[in-house]
Structure 1
């Protein structure tokens, strides 16, 4: 594989002095976290997906979730005080984040958005999340990610 790309996400991590590893893999359209976990040889539970959603007013937010879990949008809405939350259409998510869907990172987004994370992510020693390009993940400690993003922790997973 080629050299890892320099992205807004990796530049932000370097600027913050956060130690991380770079992991390239062969991206498969609609393969999701199952493909990246398989290619990296790590549990899908440790691969964290970045989902761009919006509330009933169209205000965007990011939720970080284990790759092998789904988000309860009703529970998410309840916990953040919204009437409803739904995933953004891909073109809208791309516009808010500055990344292409399939390569969305919570780090270095084009637009500042509230970031919420499934609380159980912080029980893991190491997580892998998108580094800002399709086929590129970064590995780091959840506590280090929290230092950079200052996320709210919620319990919104559906197993």
Structure 2
């Protein structure tokens, strides 16, 4: 694949931030396919502990929820279920990501999904002035204030991961 010159293409995530007058920075990286968050952080130079991945879970009620957690941690499904008031939640199947979110795997942003789902952000985000999340396309990362993110997605900060120590 050749080099892409797509720097000016705005994603829904960027449009939402601009509409809400929220400052953000875009980090672009060369990538033609899905890579995990740790590799994304290496490519962008973003600190691992400030880099967050966006997961989608479905509750017993069939409702979907967005979970934003540090890339180095794993989601704790019991804690996530409790945080959204469900008996249990499970990660949606990879093949359903686009159908549910409108984004592709590896380019799933907590901003600008097809619908606004209840969003939970791992509480460690509050320790930072800025965190890094997907910009809504593979190869695009957004750097923004976690409180601004929570405000736009009506998110709440909860401890929802395993391997996290205060």
Tell me the CA shift for residue 81 of structure 1: 2.0
Q: Which moved more, 1:73-82 or 1:102-111?
A: 73-82
Unaligned stretches of 5+ residues in structure 1: none
SS at match of 2:72: coil
Alignment partner for residue 65 of structure 2, among 61, 66, 79?
Answer: 61
Tell me the CA shift for residue 8 of structure 1: 0.7
Corresponding position: 1:12 with 2:16: yes
Alignment partner for residue 51 of structure 2, among 44, 47, 50?
Answer: 47
Task: Judge conservation of contact 2:121–2:150 (CA < 8 Å) in 1.
Answer: no
Q: How many residues align?
A: 159
Task: Judge conservation of contact 2:118–2:154 (CA < 8 Å) in 1.
Answer: no
Match of 2:116 in 1: 112
Unaligned stretches of 5+ residues in structure 2: none
Q: 1:68 and 1:51 mapped to 2: Cα distance? A: 13
Match of 2:96 in 1: 92
TM-score (norm: length of structure 2): 0.89
Q: 1:98 and 1:115 mapped to 2: Cα distance? A: 16
CA RMSD of aligned residues (A): 1.5
Q: Which runs of 4+ in 1 moved over 4 A?
A: none
Match of 1:81 in 2: 85
Q: Deviations over 1:31-83 (max 9, x none)?
A: 21111110111221111111011012321110000111111001211232211
Match of 1:153 in 2: 157
The change in CA–CA distance for 1:30 and 1:18 in structure 2 (over 3 A counts) is: same
